[in-house]
Amino acid sequence: MQAAAAADSSPAGVRRWVIDAACLLPAIAVTALTYYPITHNYFFADDFLNLFKIVNDPLLQYLVTPNGGHLLLTRNAIFYLTFRLFGPSPEGFYWCAFLTHLVNVGLLYWLIRRMTSSALLASFGAASWGTSPLSQGSLGWYAVYGHVLVATALLIILLPAQRLAADGRSPSRRLQWGWYALALVAATSFGTGLAIALLLPFVLAILLPHWRGRSWRRPPLVSLLVVLPALYVGLNLLYAHLADDNLLARTPWLALFSDPAGIVGLWLKLICFGLTRLLLGFYFPSWAGAPLWYVVAAAFAAIAVLVARRAPPLIRRQLAACALLTLGCYAIIATARAVLVIAISPRLVTELLRYHYVAQLLLALLVCIVLARFGPLLPATAKLLLLIGWYALTLLSYARFAPAIDHHDTARAGTALAMATIQRSIVTAPGGQPIFIANRGFAQLPFDPAQFPGWAAVFTIFHPVNHTIDGRRIFFVEPAPEVLAAAKRGKRTAPLLISPEQVKAKRGP
């Protein structure tokens, strides 16, 4: 350790740090330029549902609440803590997403740097992924923040794994437990994290062939293959018990596999689109359709295979591990969403930006590993000029072609209207009596009213006092029996929603 410190303080070590800083900072800067606007985003769709559940459900029930097939224990815990820290103020939530993305760009830089021994390639790879227009889908919608956390967990796992692979060493017991914990964090943050965690034993076996001993006859951390399915079923059953809502029984599992050709087609489309969009950056003309995606992906795959055949074993292992993770990330999305996507629109894949965050990170890794094999063909000055030219072109295309950030202004306006109307009803209500407000649906979250009871739910999110204002009781009048029945199970909604028949009794004589 002292030798390493001395090496870093040597002239060569200082020069290396200066080069890394000069290459890392531009990647962070262009990423910040691209995604700083998301700090002005408002809550959207499932964000409101999560906020409502935080204030209305028991804590344990909220923490184990799944959604759309995702296990979300970690994501829910962070959502809850962020709400307790910032309240229903979206700025704090989106600053967390923005800063986490910048951290991920920095981690990706160091991972590419170690895999390729090139600061210039690391700068290119980190910046191309950091500025990818597809990342808006995960960064600009806080309910999908778990996808950003999966990337963080994966990068923290791969960084020491790559160092050990390069040195031919085995991981310590402490590091293995750390990897295990990070795998569980990823699996309980977003669906792609479940794929990452299930593939992790095989990825580590590929990257670390020196990991010998009794466990070498099976993949390292292989118990994840048993623990994760058990955790999936266990958390869903616990939620079913706490919320009286058996999602596992209601999920049409067999229907997910009813169209194998559709699953494979969507899987290929996701891969090809993600790679093409990564390479083209902000410039994505209307003519860049599926045929171009397939051509780009096929050409890259052919080059990668040729590189792997001629590369040293370490490079082949890197390519294999990254390819396996990429294919797995997109496979779990295609399997879970193919039936829905095909039923709505075959081209919907191009609109679902939130599915690409982690997979594009892995594609950026693959691209940089392949490009590194061509590095010796160019002098250092030429490579530096190419990087500078790429940054200049990226900034120009950002100014000309960057898509506008969706700040969810409609949701902001709808929330403001609901709260203003509620406040007006409170102010104009007759004095000395309880306040009765007709409950309305919330257009910005068109869920089942029994799950999100409209304006009454909005009131519970944005008003800290549930039942009284200036000493007067507040009630939302709801005619639907199923909404009233569901409201009785909530901490805040149980005394808040009443039927029209109860109004007269509440008014008193």
**Where do the domains of the chain lie?**
2-401, 409-507
Q: 220: pLDDT confidence band, cut at 50, 70 and 90?
A: confident
User: Do 456 and 494 contact (CB within 8 A), yes or no?
Assistant: no
Give this prediction's pTM: 0.93
pLDDT at 451 over 60: yes
| Structure tokens that stand for 113 in this block | 């740097």
pLDDT at 1 over 50: no
| Structure tokens that stand for 21 in this block | 């800083």
**For position 6, what pLDDT does the model report?**
46
Q: What is the mean pLDDT of residues 1-24?
A: 70
Q: Which residues contact 467 (CB under 8 A, 6 or more apart)?
A: 473, 474, 495, 496
Q: How far is CA 294 from CA 52, 125, 306, 327, in A?
A: 43, 22, 18, 15
Q: What is the mean pLDDT of residues 167-175?
A: 89
pLDDT at 247 over 80: no
Give the Cα separation of 399 and 283 in Å (integer): 10
Q: What is the mean pLDDT of residues 21-47?
A: 96
| Structure tokens that stand for 189 in this block | 């943050």
Tell me if residue 7 falls in helix, strand or coil.
Answer: helix
| Structure tokens that stand for 383 in this block | 């490579």
Of 91-100, 156-165, 243-252, 343-352, where does mean pLDDT reach its minimum?
Answer: 343-352
Q: Which amino acid is located at 301 in the chain?
A: A
Pairs from 9-16 (Cβ < 8 Å, separation ≥ 24): none
Of 12-21, 121-130, 415-424, 450-459, where does mean pLDDT reach its minimum?
Answer: 12-21
Helices 191-207 and 173-187, packing angle to 10 deg: 150
Give the Cα separation of 337 and 330 in Å (integer): 10
User: Do 454 and 487 contact (CB within 8 A), yes or no?
Assistant: no
Residue recorded with tokens 């964090």: 185
pLDDT at 318 over 50: yes
Of 27-31, 257-261, 402-406, 482-486, where does mean pLDDT reach its minimum?
Answer: 257-261
| Tens of pLDDT, residues 285-296 | 888 888 999 999
Helices 454-462 and 409-428, packing angle to 10 deg: 90
Compute the C-alpha angle 245/354/106, nearest 5°: 120
**For position 217, what pLDDT does the model report?**
54
Q: What is the mean pLDDT of residues 406-426?
A: 93
**For position 339, what pLDDT does the model report?**
65
pLDDT at 189 over 50: yes
Would you say the C-alpha torsion 222, 228, 233, 238 has a positive or negative sign?
Answer: positive
User: What length is written for the chain?
Assistant: 509
Q: What percent of the chain has pLDDT over 70?
A: 90
Compute the C-alpha angle 467/468/474, nearest 5°: 60
Question: What per-residue string of b and e applies to 478-498 under the rule 16 or more CB within 10 Å gives b?
Answer: beeeebbebbeebebbeebbb
Mean pLDDT of the chain: 89
